Amino acid sequence: MKENSERIVALGVYDSPMAAWADAVGFEIFVIGNSGPMSLFGHKGSTTVKPDELLFMTRAVSRVTEFALIVATMPYMSYVASREEAVRTAAWLVSEGGADCVQCHGNLQTAEFIAAITGAGVPVYAHLGLQSVRKTEQSGYGAKGKNAHDAKRIVDEARAMVDAGVFAIMLEHVPVELTQYIRDLVPVPVISLGSGPEADGIYLVSADLIGYSIFRKPVNAGQFADVKPVIEEALQAYASRVRAGQYPTDDLTRHMDAEELDDFKKLIEEV
C-alpha cells in the first residue's frame, strides 16, 4: 500500500462489538493499545495497565476479526530487560491472545530487544514520538520532536527500528514536517497518530473517535461522533421508567398459560 500510495487506515479497538463492526466497515490494522484499559478500565496512565488486561482485550478482538491485522501492545517493561523476556511476551500475545503481531514503544536502547522479537518470527509495529509509557521521562504528553535535536533523535530511532526489522512505524504527536521526512526516508509504512496527514496511514483510537471514554478527548485526536449524550439519555430514561412503574411493559413480560397457571395454583395450595 505504501508503494502504491494507498492510504492505510488503522483503528484502536478493545472489545468484540467494536471490532466486529469496524471489521465489517473495513480497516487495515486494529491496535489493542494501552489506551483501551485507560479508556474503559479507568487507568490514569499506561504504566499501570496489567498484562492480563491487554491479553483479555486482544482475545476479545481476535475472536471476531476476520480481515484486519491485529496488533497487540507489549505490556509496560515486558521487553526491555532481556531478549528472552521480549520474545516470550510477544509469543504469549500471539499464541494466547490471537494477535498477528505486537506493538513496541521503541528507542535506541530497546532496538536490540525488538530485533530479537522480529528475529523470532513475530512482526513488530513500532511506536515513536509521544510514548505514554515514558510520560515522566518525556515530561508529559506534549508534542515531541518540535526542536531540531529531538527531531533528529526520532529520525535516528526510526532508522534503528527499520534495522531491527519492524514492518511499520507509528508516529504520535510529532510535527507534520518530521512525519513527512520519515515517511520518505524509511521503506516501511509510517502511520500518523496526531502527526498530520503526510503519512502512509492514519490511526485513531475508537474511544476518542466516538467519545466513549471517561477522560477528555486528546487534543491530537479527531472525533466523528459523541455517544455520551445518547447513552446518558438512555440510562436516564431507563431509570425513570423503572421508578415510575412503566418498565418492563407487558409486551416484554412472559405469562404462564392459563391451564399451567391453574395447575400451579393447585400445587401450591397442596403444600
Q: What angle do CA 88, 92, 98 make, to 5 degrees?
A: 150
- Alpha carbon 132 to its chain centroid, in Å, reads 13
Q: Is residue 22 domain-resident?
A: yes
Per-residue model confidence (pLDDT) at position 109: 92
Say yes or no: 58 and 154 in one domain: yes
* Burial class of 89 by CB neighbour count within 10 A (0 to 12, 13 to 18, 19+): buried
Read off the CATH number of the domain in which 198 is found: 3.20.20.60
Do 208 and 234 have their domain in common? no
> How many structural domains comprise the chain?
2
Q: How far apart are CA 37 and CA 214, in angstroms?
A: 11
Residues 127, 52 share a domain:
yes
User: Same domain for 241 and 109?
Assistant: no
- Predicted confidence at residue 218, as pLDDT, reads 64
Q: What is the pLDDT of residue 217?
A: 67
**Residue-level pLDDT at 38:** 82
What is the pLDDT at residue 214?
Answer: 72
| Whether 190 and 63 share a structural domain | yes
Alpha-carbon distance of 87 to 79, in angstroms, equals 8
pLDDT for 223: 84
In a domain, 3, yes or no: no
Digit-coded pLDDT (tens) for 54-76 = 999 999 999 999 999 999 999 98
How far is the first Cα of the chain from the last one, in angstroms, to the nearest whole number? 75
Looking at the structure, do residues 201 and 263 belong to the same domain, yes or no? Answer: no
Task: Place 271 in a pLDDT band, splitting at 50, 70 and 90.
Answer: low
State whether 117 and 137 are in the same domain: yes
Q: Which residue has the cell 520519515?
A: 182
Query: What average pLDDT is seen over the chain?
Result: 91
Q: Are residues 238 and 147 in the same domain?
A: no
**Which residue range is the domain that position 238 belongs to?**
230-270
| Same domain, residue pair 180 and 248 | no
Asked whether residue 255 carries a pLDDT value surpassing 80, the answer given is: yes
Residue at grid coordinates 508516529: 171
Is residue 166 domain-shared with residue 190, that is, in the same domain?
yes
Q: Name the packing angle between helices 83-95 and 111-119 (round to 10°).
A: 50
Which helix (H) or strand (E) element contains residue 90?
A: helix 83-95
Per-residue pLDDT of 68-121, as tens digits, reads: 999 999 998 889 989 999 999 999 999 999 999 999 999 999 999 999 999 999
CA 107 from chain centre, in angstroms, equals 21
Closest CA to 19 of 4, 7, 30: 30
Task: Tell me: do 221 and 239 sit in the same domain.
Answer: no
Looking at residue 268, its amino acid is: I
Pairing of strands 190-193, 8-12: unpaired
Average pLDDT in the 159-184 region? 97
To the query of whether residue 172 is one of the catalytic residues in this protein, the response is yes
Q: For 30-58, how does the pLDDT look when each residue is reduced to its tens digit (9 = 90+)?
A: 999 888 888 888 788 878 889 999 999 99
Position 47 scores a pLDDT of 81
Residue 164 is predicted with a pLDDT of: 98
Mark 129-167 as b/e (b = at least 16 C-beta within 10 Å).
bbbbbeeeeeeebebbbeeeebbebbbebbebbbebbbb
Closest CA to 198 of 219, 181, 212: 181
| Active-site choice (28, 53, 157, 172) | 172
Q: Is 60 exceeded by the pLDDT of residue 139?
A: no
- Percentage of residues in the chain having pLDDT higher than 90: 73
Do 46 and 89 have their domain in common?
yes
Q: Each residue of 204-243: pLDDT tens digit?
A: 999 889 988 776 666 666 788 889 899 999 989 999 999 9
